[in-house]
Structure 1
Amino acid sequence: MGSVKTKRMPRAVREQQMLDAAVRIFGRRGYTAASMDEIAELAGVSKPLVYLYLNSKEDLFTACIRREASALTAAVRSGVRPGLPADRQLWEGLCAFFTHTARNPEGWTVLHLQARTHGEPFAAEVDAMREGIVAFVTQLIDVAAREARPQALGCARPGRHPQDPELPERETAGLAEALVGAAESLAAWANTTPGVSAGQAAATLMNFAWAGLGNLMEGRPWSPPDHD
């Protein structure tokens, strides 16, 4: 009788299986402590096969970062429906962000903690992802400012002279950076705090950020006190 041949798994599928295992190990143990033996065992393959597919531990970690960054960016962008009011778009983007990071805690740990602390090439990969998300949030803030401008200028209370809520480019960029930074920190906290849902985390950040943004869009920015 001839030997029974098993069907070979397609390379792309096998590679994703390895990346799944690697993200879990890197996320739980950290880049330095993670071993290729552990990753191969969890993936159900031999260590030489991992090296054959992904060359080195450094290349494997880079591949994990790129995959998780791409998945997070896609989740945020696809979660926002164009045409909605700006606050709804921001809300949907935050919900998508916190839902994704809650469902993929090891992937978020790889992006938020591990990649940033193990050398410039890894950090640069995450910085590229972050720049894309910041640019996307900047667009949402620009939309919010355009929506609020006619209302703020045309619906002021009698005797009141609101400021034009058209925001300088630098201020818009700063607001987007601050919002993304807050979301990153809040996701790390939510993933380690029992009972905090993605919706609750999104609502917390909306309550924190949108009240201030709303005043700003309506021409009521906070001003520092005059120095004596």
Structure 2
Amino acid sequence: MGAVKTKRMPRAVREQQMLDAAVETFGRRGYMAASMDEIAELAGVSKPLVYLYLNSKEDLFTACIRREAEALVGAVRAGVDTGLPADRQLWDGLLAFFAHTGRHPHAWSVLHIQARTHGETFAAEAAAMRAEIVAFVTQLIVVAAREAHRDPDLPEREVAGLAEALVGAAESLAAWANTAESVTPRQAAATLMNFAWAGLGNLMTGHPWSPPEP
């Protein structure tokens, strides 16, 4: 009888396997310390195959940034129902953000730390992801602001700074939540909602914004 042929793994599947290993290695060890040998070993493939598929360490890292940025933005957008009130949309978006970054701490390290500190090309990829999230948050806030001011023509620039501040706070809070013990995505989201939506005034007087029941 002839030898049994094993089914060859599709290239796209193998590439994702390599990217999974690369994200974990970059996130855990940092871009400079991570080696292609270590990534190949974790992926269960040869180093020449990693180079064949992804050309170089720089190209591999860029592919990791792009994949994880797309996944994070997609998770936030998928978590928001635009038919709900503005505060609920913001809550759901924040909850989706913290849930995703909590489930994928190595990916968040790649996006939030490694990509920003190892070259302009990498930083530009991370900045594009951040700009998309800021634009999304701006739309959520401007709807609420127009309703509050009873001005349907209130320009986006009036809330652009608030969106930038909110995204910056979420980024810092995600980094903290991933290193602190027993901080759930719901707790992180509620902390930011109380700070951003209810405002410090309500928080200090004992009237915080209350998240909906899960």
Same fold? TM cut 0.5: yes
State how many pairs are aligned.
202
Q: State which of 179, 183, 196 in structure 2 corresponds to 1:209.
A: 196
Identity %: 83
Q: Structure 2, unaligned stretches of length 5 or more? A: 203-214
After superposition, the C-alpha distances for 1:57-78 in whole angstroms (9 at most, x for unaligned) are 0000000000000000000001
Q: Structure 1 residues 213, 84: closer, same or farther in 2, change over 3 A?
A: farther
Give the conservation status (yes or no) of the 8 Å contact 1:95–1:199.
yes
Q: Residue 170 of structure 1: CA displacement? A: 2.8
Give the conservation status (yes or no) of the 8 Å contact 1:149–1:166.
no
After superposition, the C-alpha distances for 1:85-133 in whole angstroms (9 at most, x for unaligned) are 1000000000000000000000000000000000000000000000000
Aligned to 1:58: 58
Give the conservation status (yes or no) of the 8 Å contact 1:27–1:114.
yes
After superposition, the C-alpha distances for 1:145-199 in whole angstroms (9 at most, x for unaligned) are 122234xxxxxxxxxxxxx797553331110000000000000000000100000
Q: Residue 31 of structure 1: CA displacement? A: 0.3
Distance, in Å, in 2 between the alignment partners of 1:165 and 1:182 is: 27
Aligned to 2:212: none
1:22 pairs with 2:22: yes
Q: State which of 196, 208, 221 in structure 1 corresponds to 2:183.
A: 196
Give the conservation status (yes or no) of the 8 Å contact 1:90–1:140.
yes
Counterpart amino acid of 1:119? G
Distance, in Å, in 2 between the alignment partners of 1:213 and 1:134 is: 22
Aligned to 1:222: none
RMSD: 1.8
Counterpart amino acid of 1:16? Q
Q: Structure 1, unaligned stretches of length 5 or more? A: 151-163, 216-228
Whose radius of gyration is greater, 1 or 2? 1
Give the conservation status (yes or no) of the 8 Å contact 2:22–2:61.
yes
Instruction: Report matched runs for 1:97-176 at 5 Å.
Output: 97-150=97-150, 168-176=155-163
Aligned to 1:36: 36
1:3 pairs with 2:9: no
Q: Residue 18 of structure 1: CA displacement? A: 0.3
Give the conservation status (yes or no) of the 8 Å contact 1:148–1:165.
no
Aligned to 2:208: none
1:182 pairs with 2:182: no
Give the conservation status (yes or no) of the 8 Å contact 1:23–1:106.
yes
Distance, in Å, in 2 between the alignment partners of 1:146 and 1:113 is: 35
Secondary structure in structure 2 of the residue aligned to 1:33: coil
